[in-house]
Amino acid sequence: MSSFILLFGCLALGLLLQRVKEFPRNTPQVLNQFIIYIAMPALALFYIPEVKLNSTVLLPVGVAWICFAGSALFFWSLGKAFGWSHKLIGCLIITGGFSNTSFVGLPVIEALYGADSLETVILIDQPGSFVVLSTFGVALAAIFSKGDANARSIAKKIFLFPPFVAFLVALGLNLFNLHLSVDFKEALQRLGSTVSPLALVSVGLQLRPEWRSKHWGFLALGLLFQLILAPVLILALYFGLFNLKGELLQICVLEAAMAPMITASIVAASYGLKPRLANMMVGFGIPLSIITLTLWYWVVQGL
């Protein structure tokens, strides 16, 4: 319950701080940079070295990769058909293709399935969502922000993206069975725990609903894919094709159905991909997902 209080409290705090003149106008950008350069790398270094890498992780890890690929195909096809701008297509792919598998996903899944389920959530979030965002997500943002980008510049952005650098270091520690000290891990955990509250405050600071905005239709499309079509895709593949059943299937479907990923919206906004729409995806997606997650939980029971 405390996670949901923090979630909505930080969003509301950001909205309130819009009225505080002492806060500089670039506060959201500063918060986003701290998240990308400090907090996200700390999370990678905390979690990845302890992940057990074997064949059983493929299905949970695959959730994020499949959803992102589905989002890219869905919104690229619509964008080409209706003549959308590159920035709009890029924004929808990134914000609609990543679910909030950590901050929303962790407390929800733990509440429904117990503490033992968190290992599956970490697999979906870290080698899944985190890595896809740090590689293909950043590459796509670089391409669609300018309409064109060469392979060298894209590779440079990926390999200089701090969370990805931290992931490579953490993966090396995992492969060589090296472990960080307890004190160092505690420091990393504390830094990493700032991701969600700071990101939500940043979103709240930038969330300015414009009732006559042209973004409402695109917001509806983005949330339609994220909250409905993405979990349908995972359910069809994992249950219909791979014949997966039980708790693992239920967790994978519910994680795919989570609200849009906060850090994905930050990446989209930092690359100038329709920042207002990116923030609306999170600001409106989180409360709406409470309703859709309840429906999905009812659907997957018994599978």
Burial class of residue 138 (count of CB atoms within 10 Å of its CB; 0-12, 13-18, 19+) = buried
Closest CA to 81 of 212, 214, 221, 210: 221
- Give the number of other CB atoms < 10 A from CB of residue 51: 17
Question: pLDDT tens digits for 25-72?
Answer: 889 889 888 988 998 889 889 888 887 776 667 899 999 999 999 999
- Domains located in the chain, CATH noted: 2-15+27-206+230-300 (1.20.1530)
Question: pLDDT tens digits for 257-299?
Answer: 999 998 899 889 888 999 989 988 988 888 898 899 999 999 9
Residue 165 is given by DSSP the state H
Rama region for 54: left / alpha / beta (φ>0; ψ in -120 to 50; rest):
beta
Calpha distance 127→178 (Å, rounded): 18
Report pTM: 0.82
Given a contact cutoff of 8 angstroms between Cβ atoms, the answer to whether 46 and 184 are in contact is: no
Question: Which structure tokens are listed for 127?
Answer: 């080698």
Query: Going by C-beta distance under 8 Å and a sequence separation of 6 or more, which residues neighbour residue 110?
Result: 117, 118, 121
Q: DSSP alpha helices (H): ranges in the chain?
A: 2-17, 27-34, 40-47, 58-82, 86-97, 105-113, 118-123, 131-132, 138-146, 151-159, 162-175, 182-192, 195-206, 215-224, 230-235, 247-256, 262-270, 275-300
Question: pLDDT tens digits for 129-182?
Answer: 888 998 899 889 988 987 556 677 778 878 888 888 888 899 899 999 998 999
Calpha distance 25→5 (Å, rounded): 26
Closest CA to 231 of 89, 140, 133, 124: 124
Calpha distance 26→2 (Å, rounded): 29
